[in-house]
Copies of this chain bind each other. A is one copy, B any other.
Amino acid sequence: MANNIKRNNVGRPLVREKIHEIIFEADTPMGKLFDVVLLVLIAASVLVVMLESVNYINARYADLFFTLEWIFTIIFTIEYLLRIYSVYRPLKYVLSFFGIIDLLAILPAYLSFFVIAGTHSLMVIRAFRLIRIFRIFKLGHFLSEGNVILDALRASRVKISVFLTFVCLLVVIIGSMMYLIEGGEGSGFSSIPRSIYWAIVTLTTVGYGDITPATEVGQFLSAVVMILGYAIIAVPTGIVSAEMVKGSHSQISTQACRYCGAEGHDHDAVYCRMCGERLN
């Protein structure tokens, strides 16, 4: 934390180091403040984009929104340039995921000068600034607890892929069957892709009701799909639960061996599993 001299040995100016510390790190008071201010600014700028999209609000406050938008854009531009200036490998940052998102956050406002057609879409793109907020997970305890979740998801990565592959194949097959049963110009099941969309709506228990079966056979198949969806939600839930339980079990281990310092012993362990010495 804050040992500029050491870093300065690498041969970079002190100011640059300081900026890097404030912008990219979260464990100094200034760094924390910067993160919080940035989060508030992003949230505020996204709120402006959201309110702008509501017609009757935009009609009244269009000028205010325009001014605010330029203030946000200028601040974010300065921040973007400072990031490039202070980072160790500017190109790597620019081409990184967050580098591109940071650029996308400021580009639309500038482009609106040149581009006339599609300005509307450009304005909406600013909403994706919100992705920058995911940096919030860099903050304190959020990180560690979020990591527990991520670890569980990472550990069950392949299992969930298998499950999702299975679900995808299933909905295509169910959709095709439904198209065969109810398909036709008049009905909602006008094509196989639309029937697959219905199958997903039904299997995931969302159930919009924009497309519903009209025939008895169709309703019977729907009923089967619903019960299937109701039952197989147990699979991802079970996978993640098992990983979480495993994760929390391994957290239980508290004491360290006096001889070798090994940690992670079971609660009921009598001897160190690493050096064989007795635990206290």
Contacts and interface: CB of A to CB of B under 8 A. Distances in A.
A238 B50 CA distance: 33
Interface in A229-280: 229-231, 233-249, 252, 260, 262-278
Contacts of A220: 197
B206 A202 contact: yes
A125 interface: yes
Interface stretch (A69-77, A88-96, A185-193): A185-193
Nearest to A52: B192
A205 B230 contact: yes
A223 B200 contact: yes
A109 interface: no
A164 interface: yes
A2 interface: no
A248 B243 contact: yes
Query: How many copies of the chain does the oligomer comprise?
Result: 4
Contact of A264 (B203, B237, B246, B266): B266
Contacts of A63: none
Given A124-B192, A204-B229, A244-B241, A271 B268 contact: no
8 contacts: A53-B179, A54-B191, A160-B231, A167-B230, A205-B230, A206-B206, A208-B208, A265-B273
Contacts of A275: 270-271
Interface string A173-185: 1001001100100
A55 interface: yes
Interface in A198-232: 200-210, 212, 216, 219-220, 222-223, 226-227, 229-231
Interface residues of A, number: 108
Main DSSP-derived SS at the A contact region: helix
Interface string A53-74: 1110000000000000000000
A49 interface: yes
Nearest to A275: B271
A138 interface: no
A36 interface: no
A97 interface: no
A137 to B, nearest CB: 7
A159 interface: yes
A148 interface: yes
Contact of A248 (B49, B201, B242): B242
